[in-house]
Amino acid sequence: MDLLRNLPLGLYLEQPITWLHKLDPRVKLLWLFSFLAAPILATSPWRIALVLMLITITLSAKIPLRAWKQQMGWLLMLAGFVFLLGAFVPDSFNVKYQPRLPSLEPSIAVTDYQYVLLQIERFAITRRSLELAIRVSTLIFTVIYSSNLYLLTTAPEEITAGIESLMRPLRRFKVPVTEIALTLTLSLRFIPLVLEEVQNLIRSVNTRAINWKKLGVKGAIRVWMLVAERLLENLLLRADQMANAMTVRGFTSPNTHRVQWQQLRLKIIDGIAIALVIVFWIARLLPFQLISY
């Protein structure tokens, strides 16, 4: 089991360099916030449109299939399972729809509105349950995949440089912006180390050919508690090694030992992306403006 390949969460795709890689990290962060905030009070068609937009962006960027097929595949399976579960679960509305006004003449057709859309024995899909299923399933896919797509196409140094640039006005309020950026950089760099340690411990357990049936529930829990304890010890050891490496190199504070990995400059493609995000929010907020009138 190779977690670094089967579960590449939070990992950066260095090659090939797509048009998403070339975007400024601040612009990509603006788009990420847009995808995270747009589902709030959004209708079901809008939520479905966000999912289609993310899939279209992934395909247009020509990201290798190996980098996103498992992530998108598992997410689509999870979203599909949540959709089916939410669609068939009772919506807590114990209502039987009846027409408000009886038809005066036999020739007048009764309205085609139906609250129950599909009935399979004791299970039913109603308009309310279908709407809830679409909302929850699309929200799960949008939140997780948009964040992962941002991490996949943006280097950790670019992320921290972009956040530090956006947080620069907070220095007037004595907010340690540089320290926060450094902590975030180390955290992002630590994610592959965590996956590697988990992978090594799982392999060590598998190579011992433990008979789980003989151990029973208590024995299995005891073994996994020992594995979790060992994992914590290894992670603390890695963190201590990282701290010692920084100390040996004379690192005292981020302000005195700053290394500029990225020079943030807006390009033409960034201007186009900013214009598109403005159009995106105009289209998103237009229904609210029409309702207010």
pLDDT at position 234, please? 85
Average pLDDT for runs of 10 along the chain of length 293:
52 81 89 91 88 90 78 81 81 55 50 68 76 89 89 83 84 81 77 80 79 78 85 85 77 61 78 92 74 44
HEC profile for the chain? CCHHHHCCCCCCCCCCCCHHHHCCHHHHHHHHHHHHHCCCCCCHHHHHHHHHHHHHHHHHCCCCHHHHHHHHHHHHHHHHHHHHHHHHCCCCCCCCCCCCCCCCCCCCCCCCCCCEEEEECCEEEEHHHHHHHHHHHHHHHHHHHHHHHHHHCCCHHHHHHHHHHHCHHHHHHCCCHHHHHHHHHHHHHHHHHHHHHHHHHHHHHHHCCCCHHHHHHHHHHHHHHHHHHHHHHHHHHHHHHHHHHHHHCCCCCCCCCCCCCCCCCCCHHHHHHHHHHHHHHHHHHHHHHHHHC
pLDDT at position 53, please? 92
